[in-house]
Amino acid sequence: MRVLEVFDSLQGEGVWAGVAMTFVRFAGCNASDLRLGCLAWCDTPQSWRADGGVETDSAQIVERVLRGGLGRVCLTGGEPLLQGEHLARLIERLQDAGVLVHVETNGTLPPPGATRPDWVTVSPKPPDYVIVGGLCGMVDELKVVVDQDFQVAWVEALAAEHPSAAVCLQPEASRLAETGKVAADAVLAHPGWRLSIQLHRVLGIP
């Protein structure tokens, strides 16, 4: 697996914002191939290249996560599901070691293997906000970035398709005054939804 970085921090986004966990960021993303709209505002462009980072096996990753001692890990990217069966085996090894495993995905790829992470955050991307059928019943959190083209009806449709998922709206940071108001208004109109401000940006932490 190509690993770009491993670090301990606080989750900065979504339902688990403020909770300490270890982050494993994998190299490689399919957003460019799929022409997803997130390329205009992605805050981790260094993760796009599949040949980035360092080749790392699952035993090394598990050892580093356990050394951090936080008991919870977030597997992110890029797009972590591009790691395929290697990711499935890593999740299994982490869970066997007593670590709670979060996975963040753009929702365009089916989950590898039968191993179920403890928490699945799907952040569907414009223009079509597609979530593949293989993720049906596995989505714990829908995290939608509010950009200049945002339409609340898209999120309503996603929420209807995944009724058990928490819905978090995250204002796109480069236009925060504008996107923040749009997101706040949408949450006020949908009291079950949440506003997600990028906490790590506010605190200046990784």
CA distance 151 to 149: 7
Give the pLDDT of residue 158.
Answer: 97
- Helix (H) / strand (E) containing 67: helix 58-68
**What is the rounded average pLDDT for all residues in the chain?**
96
Q: Which domains does the chain have, with CATH numbers?
A: 2-203 (3.20.20.70)
pLDDT in tens, 67-98: 999 999 999 999 999 999 999 999 999 999 99
What's this model's pTM, rounded to 2 decimal places? 0.96
Mean pLDDT of 99-127: 95
Tally: H helices and E strands in the chain: 6, 9
What is d(CA 10, CA 117) in angstroms, rounded to the nearest whole number? 19
**SS3 category, 15:** coil
- Residue 148 has which token pair? 């200049």
